[in-house]
Structure 1
Amino acid sequence: MAYSLLKSYLNVEEAKEIRKSLLVMALPAIGENVLQMLLGISDTAFLGHYDWRIMTAVGTANQVVFIFQAVLVAISTGSMVLISNSYGAGNRQRVNLIAWHAIYLSVITGLVLSFGSLFSQNLLSLFFPSSDSFMQLNGSNYLRIIMAGFPAMSIMIVLGATLRGVGDTRSPLIVALAANGLNVLLDYAMIFGKFGFPEMGAVGAAFATVISRVVGSIIIIILLFRNGRISISKKPQRFSKWLIKEIFVLGLPASVENFGFSFGVLVFANILFIAGPQAYAAHRIGIQVESLSFMPAWGMGVAVTALVGIYNGGKRRRLSIGVVRQGWFIALGISSIIGMAITLFPDLFISIFTNEATLIEEGRLPVRIIGLFQVVMGTDYAVTGGLRGMGDTAFPMKASLVAMWLIRLPLGYVLVRYLDLGLFGAWIGMMADMAFRTTLKFIRFYSGKWESTADSIQARSN
């Protein structure tokens, strides 16, 4: 059966109620993700005014972190989809069981990933020229500390997704607000040597981030146990191999997508180094502007995933489709406004991260391109949220990997290497990737080929 986002499946009152529910869930999610991103962006912004070379090194180090973070995406995505469908089906015992397994997996995975800190220098050496020892040193020092703090990051990411699965987007917002406020204060103090702290540069930025995440992880554990929708038991549940398998079966495609995308971004960085280190620095600034710009669309995607899952678990397919359509409309409206602001005032956004005139000049065009593509990004997040809420996590993975490795990287390489278009050429490849993957997901949703997966998830949730 075909499902068109241009067709209304709801009456006026249903559409109004769903829009209200989406906004209630999305606004805290948007605020949370803005603050979560600021944990990394504040590092970039402060370091951009401290030394643009250190900012570049830290930006690359964070891309390495994103690769390792792929396994957390598997756990958080699988937990969120399962818990939303079970909550929608009214199966509180299963909700409680999933929540406990989210705790187990977040702690175990965080501890395992923290051992990657032993290899930080080797990891960074893959992405910087051997002659650039300054960037290697600062990047590896930053990466070592960040990876040692993986347990706290793991707890925040996985338990945040668990809470969002039952529609509680406010608790993760509270956690992000506390952690981010502390991070900004510590960043300023530890990077520049203020309030009695020594001047530590990249190392200070890393310590500030890890300390903030430790505080955030403590708060989110407390909020999880106090959450009335989950009603998690004080007594730990028995470890279930079949539930672990179910979480990873659903979450693994999202994890592979994240890994393939993050690794592709690092390969893309090497393409940009062909154009020179300043071109790459301008690219990093453009990426930071992009990360701020897509927050509303990302938040709407989270809300769509949760609400679609809840309705699917409750056997209300028509309302699930209506959620995707309404979420898409809202995302388009917000993305259009943000895109217009970025396109008209690129320097305003770039100046958040640097005061270097050459970087502002070089970053102006790609930032304007970001503004023009906001509508595409809004569509991508809304449709991806709908597919994931139905349990179809595999197709977004395939679309993302095909677009990255067959569109962005080859096209970007040709335009930079052979046509000498520099940063502009690389970004043409990146935008072509975004347009292609969004088109594929849109067609997938229309085709209805996700129905069997949605039916299977629905049956297991009751």
Structure 2
Amino acid sequence: MKYSLLKSYLPKEEVPGIRKELIKLALPAMGENVLQMLFGMADTAFLGHYSWKAMSGVGLSNQVFWVVQVVLIAASMGATVTIANAIGAGNRKAVRSLAWNSVFLAIFTGVILTALTPLSDVLINIFPNLEGEIESSAKEYLKVILSGSMGFSIMAVFSAILRGAGDTKTPMIVTGLTNFLNIFLDYAMIFGKFGFPEMGVRGAAVATILSRFVGAAILTYVIFKREEFQLRKGLVPPKWSSQKEILRVGFPTAIENFVFSTGVLMFANILLIAGAEAYAGHRIGINVESLSFMPAFGISVAITTLVGRYNGMGNKEHVLGVIRQGWILSLLFQVTVGIIIFLFPEPLIRIFTSDPQIIEISKLPVKIIGLFQFFLAIDSTMNGALRGTGNTLPPMIITFISIWTARLPVAFVMVKYFQLGLLGAWIGMIADIIFRSTLKLLFFLSGKWEKRAVLTRERVKELG
């Protein structure tokens, strides 16, 4: 092995500084992810108490939405990585060009996703075994969400621009404001409170898009005010070289998410073999599991930003030092959360449902996922490390291999032939997590990421 996570690569006196810098970036990103999770959990919790079938339908439509937003993910990840590298290289012209072209990509993506609104019913029909209320809820929610895609697009890309500049605090604050607005509107519009009519699923969707548009407006004001982007100096016409670099870096991550989301859709169909109750238990279990994603996301964002910056400087020792310290922090946070999930699954599940059958179905799988946080910590660390250096293609390939050779076949066999229901499906999910994280770690240790890291740095230097 060429590299190791057990070696520091930095002088002892520099380690506390790197760790402090990581935490400074990670904590707001963690806070943002907590708030993002609360955003989704609010819908799940309110709808879970309104109707578990409505909750399941909304969960399915959200999975479809994640599949169709490929370009949005490409623009977001590409903006973060290229801007971080440009700032590290000290290329102010490139920063301005990349920021403007990220804005154009955000608007373009919003238009494309909104144009899919008339196809919402067709998209939901990929699930062949839906019950009446679940199907109608999924179609209604997706139609409204797609119609408000511009707010999602602007929030995602503009937050990514700020993260690339090392500002993870502002996206957290804006997400917090929009989340509190969403929770209020969810309660009011789903159940018909404070003078609003009772709108059920449609109310949850309208609350979400209104909140996102408010967040988009705030972030637009912020990025045009920030000096490092120089957006107020005048419009920079769309430039293909900048857009190409953003998409070149971000597109493999988008495909990775597309592959993963498509796999999740197939996974949902496997769960539906076991019954609608098993899928409802899965949705609740995923929301509980998301507690461990909060620290993982924050630290991964911090690693991407700092690795990108030091890669732009050509400082390999600091790149490696950031990755090691990020891994240590990720382990500390995620294993702690995993212990809490393992010891107290039922109180966490009860946040989302009071149905005794759903609670009982969910308990054992949730306990099991708490035991595998070590592998999730490796996965999130490697994602941050490889993306920061522009190595977005290997994670995509690894995710494809892992989803289609581990998660789906193992889950199908366990559900269809061993009749293990939700537990069997989650055995397949755990097999995927272990396989995927191990392959990404082996790629990093091999040192094969260095060539792309150098290429990313050189290409960013040429932009302007």
TM-score range, shorter chain: over 0.9
Structure 2 partner of 1:212: 211
Q: Deviations over 1:414-434 (max 9, x none)?
A: 111011111111100000000
Structure 2 partner of 1:101: 101
Q: Deviations over 1:287-326 (max 9, x none)?
A: 1112232110111001000000000101111100000000
| Residue identity opposite 2:137 in structure 1 | N
Structure 2 partner of 1:71: 71
Partner Cα separation in structure 2 for residue 222 and residue 342 of structure 1: 39
Partner Cα separation in structure 1 for residue 271 and residue 325 of structure 2: 38
Partner Cα separation in structure 2 for residue 285 and residue 421 of structure 1: 18
How many residue pairs align between the two structures?
Answer: 461
Partner Cα separation in structure 1 for residue 140 and residue 161 of structure 2: 32
Partner Cα separation in structure 1 for residue 375 and residue 69 of structure 2: 25
Partner Cα separation in structure 1 for residue 432 and residue 234 of structure 2: 47
Partner Cα separation in structure 2 for residue 231 and residue 22 of structure 1: 26
Partner Cα separation in structure 1 for residue 210 and residue 452 of structure 2: 41
Structure 1 partner of 2:114: 114
1:437 deviation in Å? Answer: 0.5
Structure 1 partner of 2:440: 441
Q: Judge conservation of contact 2:102–2:243 (CA < 8 Å) in 1.
A: no
Structure 1 partner of 2:420: 421
Give me the CA root mean square deviation.
1.1
Q: Deviations over 1:121-172 (max 9, x none)?
A: 1211221526x22221111111100011111100001111111001100110
Q: Deviations over 1:357-402 (max 9, x none)?
A: 1111110011111211112111110111001101100001111111
Q: Deviations over 1:168-191 (max 9, x none)?
A: 001101110111010000000000
| Residue identity opposite 1:121 in structure 2 | D
| Residue identity opposite 2:259 in structure 1 | G
Superposition map of 1:316-395 within 5 A? 316-395=315-394
Structure 2 partner of 1:406: 405
Structure 1 partner of 2:169: 170
Partner Cα separation in structure 1 for residue 378 and residue 121 of structure 2: 39
Structure 2 partner of 1:123: 123
Partner Cα separation in structure 2 for residue 114 and residue 288 of structure 1: 27
Superposition map of 1:10-409 within 5 A? 10-129=10-129, 132-409=131-408
Specify the SS of the correspondent of 2:232: coil
Gaps of 5+ in 1: none
Partner Cα separation in structure 1 for residue 141 and residue 197 of structure 2: 16
TM (norm. structure 1) is 0.98
Partner Cα separation in structure 2 for residue 136 and residue 425 of structure 1: 24
Partner Cα separation in structure 2 for residue 291 and residue 147 of structure 1: 24
1:412 deviation in Å? Answer: 0.5
Q: Judge conservation of contact 1:103–1:159 (CA < 8 Å) in 2.
A: yes
Q: Deviations over 1:202-259 (max 9, x none)?
A: 0000000000000000001111122244343341101111211111111111011000
TM (norm. structure 2) is 0.98
Q: Deviations over 1:332-357 (max 9, x none)?
A: 00111100000000011111111111
Q: Judge conservation of contact 1:121–1:136 (CA < 8 Å) in 2.
A: no
| Residue identity opposite 1:123 in structure 2 | L
Partner Cα separation in structure 2 for residue 151 and residue 88 of structure 1: 31
| Residue identity opposite 1:133 in structure 2 | G
Partner Cα separation in structure 2 for residue 240 and residue 438 of structure 1: 37
Specify the SS of the correspondent of 1:127: coil
Specify the SS of the correspondent of 1:294: helix
Partner Cα separation in structure 1 for residue 58 and residue 93 of structure 2: 43
| Residue identity opposite 2:295 in structure 1 | P
Q: Judge conservation of contact 1:96–1:233 (CA < 8 Å) in 2.
A: no
Q: Judge conservation of contact 2:291–2:337 (CA < 8 Å) in 1.
A: no
Partner Cα separation in structure 2 for residue 433 and residue 171 of structure 1: 34
1:11 deviation in Å? Answer: 1.3
| Residue identity opposite 1:429 in structure 2 | G
Partner Cα separation in structure 1 for residue 116 and residue 286 of structure 2: 25
Specify the SS of the correspondent of 1:6: coil
Partner Cα separation in structure 1 for residue 95 and residue 351 of structure 2: 42
Partner Cα separation in structure 2 for residue 423 and residue 135 of structure 1: 18
Partner Cα separation in structure 1 for residue 102 and residue 80 of structure 2: 9
Q: Judge conservation of contact 2:124–2:138 (CA < 8 Å) in 1.
A: yes
Q: Judge conservation of contact 1:81–1:306 (CA < 8 Å) in 2.
A: yes
1:460 deviation in Å? Answer: 2.2
Structure 2 partner of 1:8: 8
State the identity %: 50
| Residue identity opposite 2:61 in structure 1 | A
Partner Cα separation in structure 1 for residue 410 and residue 421 of structure 2: 12
| Residue identity opposite 2:52 in structure 1 | W
Q: Judge conservation of contact 1:294–1:374 (CA < 8 Å) in 2.
A: no
Q: Judge conservation of contact 2:129–2:272 (CA < 8 Å) in 1.
A: no
Q: Judge conservation of contact 2:88–2:310 (CA < 8 Å) in 1.
A: yes
Specify the SS of the correspondent of 2:439: helix
1:92 deviation in Å? Answer: 1.1
